[in-house]
Amino acid sequence: MKLNWGWYIVFALVGFAAFVIYHVIGMMRENTDLITENYYNEELLYQERMEEKQRAIDENRFLNIHYDAQNVYIRLPFEGFFEAQINFIHPERKIFDRFYSSTDTLVVLPRSDFKPGKWNLKCLVTYNGKKYLFEETVFL
């Protein structure tokens, strides 16, 4: 049986509709976590965060991050008493996020705590009453 050109158009349209429906259903099932629940509060603190980042740059303070098969090493550029909050944010799922606090210059974290892939590192340090913010992208 030979089909005329009209049937080919119908098959193409039905195939395209099935393709679109398949992808819409796939996107609706995807679990997406927000990076932050409070966008408004984060927006209000934006200028403060930029000043904290600039303060670190102006004083030539930079994180030194390296890792091996067992550990992740973070060397903080401060001496004396300071307090650091180290946050590893995983871009895919919120359940993978890791939060640490430290008062040591060298922070050693077990690599087994981290899923392989891309991580956004945010480190907020309070030193002599001033805050310093470091943001890095790390591939573990």
90 and 50 within one domain: yes
**Nearest in space to 73 (alpha carbons), one of 86, 62, 82, 64:** 64
| Exposure letters 49-72 (e unless 16+ CB within 10 A, then b) | eeebeeebeeeeeebebeeeeeeb
We report the CATH number of the domain holding residue 115 as 2.60.40.3760
Q: How many domains does the chain have?
A: 2
Which pLDDT belongs to residue 34? 63
Same domain, 49 and 80: yes
Q: Do residue 7 and residue 53 come from a single domain?
A: no
Q: Is the pLDDT of residue 1 over 70?
A: no
pTM: 0.69
Domain identity same for 14 and 51: no
Mean pLDDT of the chain: 87
Do 74 and 135 fall within a single domain? yes
Residue scoring higher pLDDT (17 or 94): 17
Q: Which range of residues forms the domain containing residue 13?
A: 1-30
Q: Are residues 76 and 19 in the same domain?
A: no
- List of residues 6+ apart from 62 with CB closer than 8 A: 56, 77, 134
- Confidence at 43, pLDDT banded by 50, 70, 90: confident
Residue 59 CA to residue 134 CA, distance in Å, equals 13
Q: Are residues 53 and 115 in the same domain?
A: yes
63/95 same-domain check:
yes
86 & 130 share domain = yes
Q: Does 25 share its domain with 50? A: no
- What is the per-residue pLDDT for 42? 77
At 2 the pLDDT is 79
Q: What is the pLDDT of residues 53-106, one digit of tens each?
A: 998 888 888 888 988 888 889 998 888 888 999 999 888 778 888 899 988 888
Do 6 and 75 share a domain, yes or no? no
Whether residue 82 sits in one domain with residue 23: no
Reported confidence tier of residue 32, pLDDT bands at 50, 70, 90: low
Separation between Cα atoms, residue 112 and residue 107, nearest integer Å: 15
What is the arithmetic mean of pLDDT over 26-55? 80
Predicted local confidence at residue 33, as pLDDT:
64
- pLDDT of 115 over the 90 cut: no
